[in-house]
Amino acid sequence: MNWHRAGVGLGALVVSVGLTACDLLRVKDPGRYEEEDLLTALEAVGNTAEGNAHKWMNWYVIWQELLGDALNFIGPITYNDEYALIDDGRVDFNTYPVARTPANSRYVAYNFPDGMAESRWLAHKAWEIAELAYEKGDSMEAELDFESSFLAAQIKLGWAFNNMYLGLFSCEGVLGSPDDEGGAEMYLDVQIYDSAASLFTHVIEIMGRVDPFLIEFQDRDYLNAARTGRALMRMLAGDYEGAVADAATVPDGFRYDAILGGSFENWNQMYWRGFQFRYFRLHDWVIPDTLGPTFSGSLPDRWTGLPDRRRQVQYLPKPFFGDRPETILPTKYGGSTSGISMVSAIHARLIEAEAMAMSGNFLGAMTVLDAMRVEVNLPAIPFTPENEVQMLDVLLWERYAWLFVEGWRQPDLHRSGLTRAVFEALNDYDRRGIGRPTKFPGSAREAWLNPLVVNDATQRCHPNA
């Protein structure tokens, strides 16, 4: 069978303490700073490296959900260049979706690969700064080995997530050092997964050296975040044995969220654009006709018809402003600062089930999936798949239900080769299956600026159904 708890403590993503992280990270010669400057800014440096991955993951979820088959864009027209392009499948090498974020009272547009490149550069620079601070830190009372510090794990984890989401989003991306002279090479997504897996491995190694006493006082579980992240990357690269080995070590109840809030650009965009401004709606197939156009509550489980609290939705009437229509949206994110799950024990269990299925152990896979369903008061799936097609159908649906509007639906359709079939079945004139992108292309801007990347759309990756 072949398919092609971190709740509190981070605060604002960039913390201003003395010398700001932005000032410190952007200088070419951080060695000129005195020991006191470096040590004062370390909290901000670490939070910047980790928090930028959270920020871009926030936008990632919207774009992946719009490219998938569950979420639609319903206006306003001023956002057609980013949301409608994705929703209609009109994204190509030279027509790219952007995220608008306010900077100095003016809107600045970023596309995702370029934003991740900047985020990765910040993580790279944060590593250099923190390493230098530890070298200068003769007066520090703590252990002076940087690669045995919680800070090192934090920075490297942010770096790993940057690569993880770049590989999930685009079919190609730059992996070289952000400071390479003459540009950096472009790699395919599978190679990016391998790079992210190596970074997660480094986090695991660092956490193995961190003083356990210090870990007790941390709110963020970097060890299990790295284990789950590496399991995801191994699974997507086809290393199912390695993926299940990592996933099995992740304890039940673990969850690592993107922490959002503190400034406009870091609000939960699924809530802000959806519930607040009514830019989206769930596609017709998601809400069965029998439930009516104003349904609110738990959608029915596919296998039993019982209410499935993994997929809860709410009807929103027309608002008082503009021409915004009525809509039905998922209620997974309850506010503008709601966190978004990046990795979790739930995903780890799904990886275990998939790895068993890949080896032909359908009964074992179903045992894992049925045990998970108990947690949401759903009975076992009332059959055992008899062939690969049925097993894939079960895996895809259970992943869709558990990871509802978390940005995983389209990556699953892409790797299973089902994007065209799924969209053709929708019979939606504006969202045709033939020729629809199954994954986002690489950045055209990278080709304009990077001499090592061929600036020719015919030679760049752009997978279509």
Verify that 95 and 183 share a domain, yes or no: yes
- Is 318 in contact with 74 (CB distance < 8 Å)? no
User: In the predicted model, what is the mean pLDDT of residues 68-92?
Assistant: 88
Q: What is the DSSP letter of 343?
A: E
Query: Each residue of 169-228: pLDDT tens digit?
Result: 999 888 876 566 656 788 899 999 999 999 999 999 999 999 888 787 788 899 999 999
Verify that 282 and 206 share a domain, yes or no: no
| Tokens encoding 37 | 């400057």
Verify that 76 and 216 share a domain, yes or no: yes
CB environment 11-33: b (16+ within 10 A), e (fewer): eebbbeeebbbeebbeeeebeeb
In a domain, 350, yes or no: no
User: In the predicted model, what is the mean pLDDT of residues 87-102?
Assistant: 73
| Tokens encoding 297 | 């509550």
- Enclosing domain of residue 147: 35-220+438-459
The count of structural domains within the chain is 2
Verify that 104 and 203 share a domain, yes or no: yes
Give the pLDDT confidence score for residue 198 in this predicted structure.
96
Distance CA 204, CA 223 (A): 6
Verify that 294 and 205 share a domain, yes or no: no
Give the pLDDT confidence score for residue 180 in this predicted structure.
62
Nearest Cα neighbor of 67 from 454, 422, 447, 329 is 422
Distance CA 46, CA 48 (A): 5
Query: Each residue of 40-67: pLDDT tens digit?
Result: 678 888 888 898 899 889 889 999 999 9
Verify that 195 and 79 share a domain, yes or no: yes
Give the pLDDT confidence score for residue 125 in this predicted structure.
84
Query: Each residue of 212-252: pLDDT tens digit?
Result: 887 877 888 999 999 999 999 999 888 989 999 999 999 99
- The residue out of 283, 314, 332 marking a domain boundary is 332
Verify that 85 and 215 share a domain, yes or no: yes
Question: What pTM value is reported for the model?
Answer: 0.89
In a domain, 129, yes or no: yes
Distance CA 369, CA 68 (A): 23
Verify that 310 and 203 share a domain, yes or no: no
Give the pLDDT confidence score for residue 332 in this predicted structure.
95
